[in-house]
C-alpha cells in the first residue's frame, strides 16, 4: 500500500485522482477519523470495498463534491436544508435519494436513502476536483474499532487497499448521523 502525506497529495494530485477513477481502494483522513473509500460510481470498486470491509448488508455513505450535488441528487425538505447549511461538518445526513443513478447500485443496496458527508477537512478539495461522490466508511473491519492512525489498520485492509493518505493521529469520533429521511428526525452519535 502506497502512503502519501498531505503535502505529497498536492504534488501527486493528478495521479491520485487517476487511481480513484480506475477503481482503486484507499484510506483517507476526514474531520473525524480515518475512512476507507473508492469511487461511489464504480460498481466493481464498491463491491470490492464491501468484501474488504466485510459489510454486505448496510448501505455505504458518500462524501460528495459539493452541497449542490446533494440538492441535485437528494430530496430536500426544509429540515434537511437547515442541516445542509451546517455543512461542512462532522455529520452524516441520511436523505431520500432522488437520483438513483448518482451512485453505483451497491452503495445503497436498493435502499431509497443515502448518507452524505461534507467533512470540514482539506481532503474535500480533492473530492471537489474529482467531481464525483466517494464512499466513506470507517477504515476497519465491520464490528471492530474505528481507526485513528495507520498503525491500527487491519492487515487485510492494508493488503487490499492501494494507497493511504496519512496525516498522523486523528483525535475525533465517527460522525453524528442525522436521519432526515422521515418526518421524525433521528440524531445518533456514534462511539465506535
Give the CATH number for residue 92: 3.90.870.10
Question: Which residues form the domain of 74?
Answer: 2-188
pLDDT score, position 192: 39
Residues 188, 50: Cα–Cα separation, whole Å: 23
pLDDT score, position 188: 82
Q: Based on the structure, what is the number of domains in the chain?
A: 1
Closest by alpha carbon to 158, among 149, 171, 170, 167? 149
Segments in the chain below pLDDT 70? 190-192
pLDDT score, position 190: 59
pTM of the full structure: 0.91
Residues in the chain: 192
Amino acid at each position: 500500500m502506497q502512503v502519501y502525506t498531505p503535502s505529497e497529495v498536492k504534488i501527486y494530485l493528478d495521479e491520485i485522482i487517476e487511481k480513484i477513477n480506475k477503481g482503486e481502494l484507499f484510506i483517507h483522513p476526514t474531520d473525524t477519523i480515518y475512512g476507507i473509500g473508492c469511487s461511489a460510481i464504480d460498481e466493481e470498486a464498491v463491491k470490492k470495498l464491501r468484501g474488504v470491509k466485510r459489510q454486505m448488508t448496510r448501505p455505504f455513505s458518500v462524501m460528495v463534491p459539493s452541497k449542490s450535488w446533494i440538492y441535485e441528487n437528494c430530496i430536500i425538505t426544509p429540515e434537511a436544508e437547515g442541516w445542509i447549511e451546517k455543512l461542512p461538518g462532522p455529520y452524516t445526513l441520511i436523505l431520500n435519494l432522488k437520483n438513483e443513478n448518482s451512485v453505483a447500485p451497491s452503495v445503497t443496496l436498493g435502499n431509497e436513502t443515502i448518507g452524505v458527508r461534507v467533512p470540514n477537512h482539506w481532503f474535500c478539495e480533492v473530492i471537489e476536483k474529482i467531481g464525483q461522490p466517494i464512499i466513506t466508511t470507517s477504515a476497519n473491519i465491520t464490528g471492530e474499532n474505528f481507526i485513528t492512525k495507520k498503525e491500527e489498520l487491519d492487515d487485510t485492509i492494508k493488503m487490499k487497499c492501494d494507497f493511504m493518505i496519512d496525516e498522523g493521529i486523528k483525535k475525533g469520533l465517527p460522525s453524528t448521523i442525522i436521519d432526515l429521511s422521515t418526518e421524525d428526525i433521528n440524531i445518533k452519535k456514534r462511539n465506535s
